[in-house]
Amino acid sequence: MIKGIKFSGVASGIKAEGLDLGIVVSDDDLNCLAVYTRNAVKAGHILYNRALKTKAVRAILVNSGCANACTGKKGIEDLGKIAQAVSGALNIEKKSILFASTGVIGKRLPTQKIISSIPGLLKSLDENNIDLFARAIMTTDTFPKIARFNFNGKKEYKIIGIAKGSGMINPLFATMLVFIFTDFPVPAQRFARDFKYAVKGSFERITVDGECSTNDTVMLFSKKSGEDEEAIGLFIEGINKVMKDLSLMLVKDGEGATRVIHITVKGAKKKDYAERIARRIAISPLSKTAFFGCDPNWGRFMAAAGDAGVPLNPEKVDIILQGEVLAKAGLEVPFDEMRLKEIMNRKEIELVIDLHDGRSSFDIYTTDLTYDYIKINASYRS
């Protein structure tokens, strides 16, 4: 726990059952850094938060079950009404309250249900109720996602990260919400570049289905007062670790996923080439179903690589799966099919594509594509 930062979660009736409304309240003003979806269609909470331009945050209210996306001006006005209610109940400024939402697109928030739930939500505020908050923001997630990191400077500092996300996970963000809290005093604007770099090295290197959400949000909340220059390096290390841990939890909990695949493309002339090939393989339905079926069909990886829109000489390409060379210089290397199927039947799989064309590389994590993924998303609204 972090002293002075309290969590809560309740069932407000947004979803048919279960927790669906969470809040985090700080005793003191917090800095906030945020990165949002690249989708041109953005949820109401993103438009609302950006318009505030607040420099002192005291609370973040998060709901699941309703994305509040494609709801127009009314969807933003709904947030204003809820903020007014929270502001009055906590006796804090309305502009110090931020929002985040996740769920079905196109539906407005049940504003009155949420407002009616605020007294009960605030009543259970506690520094130890992190799990309650983490469960309240889940949709198709199968487990709450929490990561921690402690480090020492002038005193012991803490970093706590909470995430939700399972499907609609795209390499350029996901249907995910991430909230990171720390008692380390770091000036928000000074750390902005490192924050974005940490996001790129974690949440932008995972994919489940290649779909880009309207609601993606990553927020970092830090204390405004104090100074500890000598510990900034440890703080940056901690932020990177927490983000990486959370990103791996997201991909491991991919909707219907049975395996996590770590794809590395190396030997590229440019990093951009390596990245585009890695991403193309990572979202290829044929590649993902091959992983699900434990099928060492390396031709699917080669075909996807050739469709990445970058220069590629197939006569130089090596493909290594689970440490076994399947193709050398673009040609198949004899291998024991049954043995390969056996070593592919694991929770984690390593695929390496060596282009032998330079020194640049890029890696990404993805999942297999299963029957359950289709079942989950075919009935998401029901």
pLDDT value at residue 209: 60
pLDDT bracket for residue 115 (50, 70, 90): very high
Structure tokens at 354: 């060596």
- Tens digits of per-residue pLDDT, 122-159? 999 999 999 999 999 998 788 999 999 999 999 999 99
Tell me the mean pLDDT in the region 6-33.
96
Of the listed 140, 175, 214, 366, which one is catalytic?
175
pLDDT value at residue 174: 43
Residue burial 198-231, b: 16+ Cβ < 10 Å; e: rest: bbeebbbbbbbbbebbbbbbbbbbbbeeeebeeb
- Tens digits of per-residue pLDDT, 28-57? 999 999 999 888 889 999 999 999 988 899
| pLDDT of 172 over the 60 cut | no
The average confidence (pLDDT) of the chain is 91
- Identify the three-state secondary structure at position 264: strand
CATH topology of domain 260-378: Ubiquitin-like (UB roll) (3.10.20)
Tell me the mean pLDDT in the region 14-22.
95
- Tens digits of per-residue pLDDT, 283-303? 999 999 999 999 999 999 999
The domain ranges of the chain are 5-252, 260-378
Q: What is the CA radius of gyration of the chain?
A: 22
- Tens digits of per-residue pLDDT, 47-102? 999 999 888 999 999 999 999 999 999 999 999 999 999 999 999 999 999 999 99
| pLDDT of 168 over the 50 cut | no
| pLDDT of 211 over the 90 cut | no
111 is catalytic: no
| pLDDT of 371 over the 80 cut | no
Residue burial 45-83, b: 16+ Cβ < 10 Å; e: rest: bbbbbeebebeebbbbbbbbbbbbbebeeebbebbeebb
d(CA 113, CA 331): 62
CATH topology of domain 5-252: L-amino peptidase D-ALA esterase/amidase (3.60.70)
Tell me the mean pLDDT in the region 161-187.
76
| pLDDT of 241 over the 90 cut | yes
d(CA 202, CA 256): 21
